[in-house]
Amino acid sequence: MMTPSNFSFKKSTTGKSSMIKRLISSSALLLPSIALAEESINGADTAWILTATALVLFMTIPGLSLFYAGLARSKNVLSILMQCFSLTGLMSILWFVAGYSLAFGEGNGFIGDLNNLFMANVTKGSISGTIPESLFAVFQMTFAVITPALIVGAFAERMKFSAMLLFSSFWLFAVYAPVCHWVWGGGWLSELGVLDFAGGIVVHITAGVAALVCALVIGNRKGWPQTAMPPHNMTMTVTGAGMLWVGWFGFNAGSALAADESAAMALIVTHLAAATGSLTWAACEWKKFGKPSVLGSVTGMVAGLGTITPASGSVSPAAAIVIGFTAGIVCFYATITIKQKLKIDDSLDVFPVHGVGGILGSLLVGVFCASELGAFSGYGFGGDNTSIGSQLEAQLIGIVSVFAYTAVVTWILLKLVNAITGLRVDEEQEAQGLDLALHEEKGYDI
C-alpha cells in the first residue's frame, strides 16, 4: 500500500496555494489504495448481519421461552423459562470455547479441528466474506443456542435441571458441531451439494430427532395421556409465537450473510410459508374438529417456518406457498400420529413440527430449486447436481445420515447422563412441579 513516505514533494516557489494543490493531488493518489484496503468489509452487509444476529437471539429469549412456557402447566412455567435462559448462556460460552472451532475449523470432512479454541484466531481485523469474522461467529452462535433450546420442549416438566445442562453441553459438541461442519463448514455433505440454506438439516432435523429420542428414553409425564395437560397460558404462547415469526427473518434472510437479493428473497418466502402454514393448520383443525384453535394457528406458523428454512435461499415465492401448505397438512397429521396413535409424550411437539418440517423442507428444496418450473422455478442445484433426481438423492443422503447419526448419539448421551446424574425428577417433584421442586420459586403468586 502506498503511504505518504512514497511521495517526495518539491519545494514550492509559488506560496501556500501551490502547496495546497500538491497536497490535494497527493491525497487523491492515496484514495484507491485506501479503498482497496477497506473494500473487503461491506458496511451494508455488516449492518444487516448485526441486526439478523439480534433477531435470532430474540427468537430464543424471549420468543421460544414464552412460546414453550405458555404451553406448559403453570407449576412448570419458570422451569421452562429457566432452561431456555440458562441454555442461552451456557451454549454461548461453549461455542466460544470449542464449538465454533469444531464446526468451522478446517479439520476434515467429518469435524473441524481445534486450532481456533477460545476463538483465538478471531481478531478485530479477521474477515469472513464481507463481514467481520467476529460477527459471523456470533451469528452462528445464535443458531447453536436455539437448537438445544428447541429440544427442551420434548422433556418439558420432567427432566432434572442438572441433567438438562449436562446433556445439552455434550450434545452441542457431539451432534450439533459435527453436523454443522458437514453442511456449512465444508464437510462431506457440503461436498455432496446438499442444500440447507438456513438450518432445516443442521437445526430442525437434529433438534427434532433428538427430541423424539429424549421423549422415548425419559418416558411420558405421569398421568399422560389419561389426564389432559393443556397449555396454561395461551396469551403467553401467542406472544412468543409472534416473536418467533419476526425473529425468523433474521434466521433465514440473515443466512445470506449479505444485504442482497438472496436475503430479500429469503425474507419473502419465509413470510409466505409461515402465513400459509398457519392458515392450513387451522383449516385442518376446522375440518377435523369443527373449530380452528389459536394453538393450531401458531403451531402451523412454526411448521411453515421450519419447513421453508432449508429452502429459503433456493425457491420462489410461489414454491414457498406450496411448501407452507404442505407443511401445514403434513405436520398437523404427524402431531396427531405421535400423540394420539403412538402415545409418545413429545410434550411440546418438537419432532412432528420441527423434525418432520425439517425433513419435508429438505426434500422439497430438491424439487423447487430447479429452474424449469415456471412460476415455481428456483435458483439452481447444489454442487455438481444437475437434475431434480440427483439433487433429491443428495438431500435424501443428508436427511438419512443426519437422522441416524443424531438418533444414535443422542441415545448414547442420554444413557451417559443418566448414569452420571439421573435424567428424571422423582414422582414427588414431578407432582409438585419443577418450579418449586428445583428452583424454590413460583411463576404465579396466587
Give the 3-state DSSP-derived string for 84-131, with helices as H, strands as E and coil as C. Answer: HHHHHHHHHHHHHHHHHHHHHCCCCCCCCCCCCHHHCCCCCCCEECCE
Place of cell 402451523: 300
What is the per-residue pLDDT for 39? 52
Mean pLDDT of residues grouped by 10 in the chain (446 residues)? 33 36 41 48 98 98 98 98 98 98 97 97 95 98 98 98 98 98 98 98 98 98 96 98 98 98 98 98 98 98 98 98 98 97 97 98 98 96 97 98 98 98 97 97 89
Residue 436 sits at φ, ψ, to 5 deg, of: -80, -40
What is the per-residue pLDDT for 399? 98
What is the per-residue pLDDT for 106? 95
- The predicted-structure confidence for 158-193, as pLDDT tens digits, reads as follows 999 999 999 999 999 999 999 999 999 999 999 999
CA distances from 287 to 83, 334, 341, 415 (A): 36, 16, 19, 42
Strand pairing of 127-128 and 131-132?
antiparallel
Q: Give the list of residues 6+ apart from residue 73 with CB closer than 8 angstroms, or none.
A: 157, 229, 232, 433
How many angstroms separate the first and last alpha carbons of the chain?
Answer: 70
Is 193 within 8 Å of 381 (Cβ atoms)?
yes
CA 331, CA 299: separation in Å to the nearest integer? 9
Place of cell 470455547: 97
The DSSP bridge partners found for residue 131 are 128
Where would I find the beta strands (DSSP E) of 54-209? 127-128, 131-132
CA 420, CA 351: separation in Å to the nearest integer? 26
pTM here is: 0.91
Is 220 within 8 Å of 343 (Cβ atoms)?
yes
Is 107 within 8 Å of 163 (Cβ atoms)?
no
The residue among 200, 207, 224 whose CA lies nearest residue 167 is 207
Determine how many CB atoms are found less than 10 A away from the CB of residue 46.
16
Residue 219 sits at φ, ψ, to 5 deg, of: 90, 170
CA 252, CA 310: separation in Å to the nearest integer? 9
Is 154 within 8 Å of 408 (Cβ atoms)?
no
CA distances from 276 to 300, 301, 322 (A): 8, 8, 8
CA 71, CA 174: separation in Å to the nearest integer? 29
Is 331 within 8 Å of 353 (Cβ atoms)?
yes
Peptide bond into 231 cis (omega under 30): no
Query: What does the CA dihedral 276, 280, 283, 284 come to, rounded to 10 degrees?
Result: -170
CA 423, CA 418: separation in Å to the nearest integer? 5
The DSSP bridge partners found for residue 132 are 127
What is the per-residue pLDDT for 14? 35
> For residue 239, what is its C-alpha cell?
406472544
Is 300 within 8 Å of 279 (Cβ atoms)?
yes
Is 232 within 8 Å of 73 (Cβ atoms)?
yes
Determine how many CB atoms are found less than 10 A away from the CB of residue 429.
15
Is 127 within 8 Å of 133 (Cβ atoms)?
yes
Is 262 within 8 Å of 313 (Cβ atoms)?
yes
